[in-house]
Amino acid sequence: MTTTLRVLKYELHNVVRSRAVLVYTVFLFLLTDVLFRFGGEGPRVVLSLLNVVLLFVPLVSVVFGTMYVYSAREFTELLLAQPVGRRSLFAGLYLGLALPLAGAFLAGVGLPFVIHARPEAGLWGPLGMLLTAGLLLTFVFTALSMLLATLFDDRAKGLGGAILIWLGCAILYDGLILLLITMFRDYPLERPVLVLTLLNPIDLGRVLLLLQFDTAALMGYTGAVFEKFFGTSGGRATVLVALAIQATVPLLLAGRVFKRKDF
């Protein structure tokens, strides 16, 4: 445990000072700030940020994460040659990567709200969900980047995998679901689609956010089923748990690979 914290301390120093994390923070800050300046009210800004959070945050997390783990490879070997256990070193590396990215997201999106937003009743729920979804997606996709970078020794394969996973979750998955729905339109598909939605972290984030805005009504009959399931506090808890599982499973797998790996 102490080893993890010691590794974490210096990893934090290193990642926080990296230019990419700084650019990421500034970009999110400027974007949110501009949305406010163009006359947006708090809740509308949250809605405008929805797609940024759902697409951009996973992309940055998985690509930056994978690149970072590869660039730290030689130093990781040096650390492994020290009297430290692999498990605690791995935990330190993951937290040292995920926490700065989570912090960058919180600061970049949160600060403009602190500066501009008028406190109103309809703001806290959506904003809270936006931040929660962004944080969970950061943890899910950095965990995936750790898995890719420990699984493949070849940097090109790891990066390719990272981009493929992002493309799959962000774009291809929804297309496949649509295809499925058209192909089997004669059958009741609500339950299968519900289950499929639970498997994709980006979809889960979207559901979580859209239900904050009562826009689910626009999604027709399926939307109603969604509303019925996800709109309850139990459904919302299910989504959060599913996201937590999606962050934990790749991380545990990566930890297993890391522990047995030949460097």
Name the residues that contact another protein, by CB under 8 A: 3, 6-7, 9-11, 13-15, 17-18, 71-75, 77-86, 260, 262-263
Give SS3 for 254: helix
Closest distance to another protein from the beta carbon of 14 (Å):
4
Q: What is the 3-state secondary structure (H, E, C) of 99-117?
A: HHHHHHHHHHHHHHHHHHC
Distance CA 224, CA 220 (A): 6
Q: How far apart are CA 66 and CA 62, in angstroms?
A: 6
Handedness of CA 203, 208, 213, 216 (dihedral sign): positive
Residue with smaller CB distance to another protein, 7 or 135 = 7
Nearest distance from C-beta of residue 166 to another protein, angstroms? 25
Classify residue 6 by burial, with Cβ atoms within 10 Å: 0-12, 13-18, 19+.
middle
Q: Which is nearer to another protein, 91 or 109 (CB)?
A: 91
Q: In this structure, are residues 142 and 63 in contact, taking their beta carbons and an 8 Å threshold?
A: no
Query: Given the complex with another protein, which of 118 and 260 has the nearer CB atom?
Result: 260
Nearer to another protein, 13 or 228 (CB): 13
Which is closer to another protein, CB of 17 or CB of 228?
17
CA 184 centroid distance within chain: 31
Minimum gap (Å) between residue 249 Cβ and another protein: 25
- C-alpha distances (whole Å) from 75 to each of 67, 160, 241 are 14, 23, 35
- Closer to another protein by CB, 51 or 71: give it: 71
Least distance (Å) between residue 92 CB and another protein: 10
What are the CB-based long-range contacts (under 8 Å, 24+) for 36-41?
36/112, 36/115, 36/116, 36/117, 37/116, 41/118, 41/120
Give the DSSP per-residue string, 219-235: GHHHHHHHHHHHTSHHH
State in angstroms the smallest separation of the CB of 94 from another protein.
15
Least spacing, CB of residue 152 vs another protein, in Å: 15
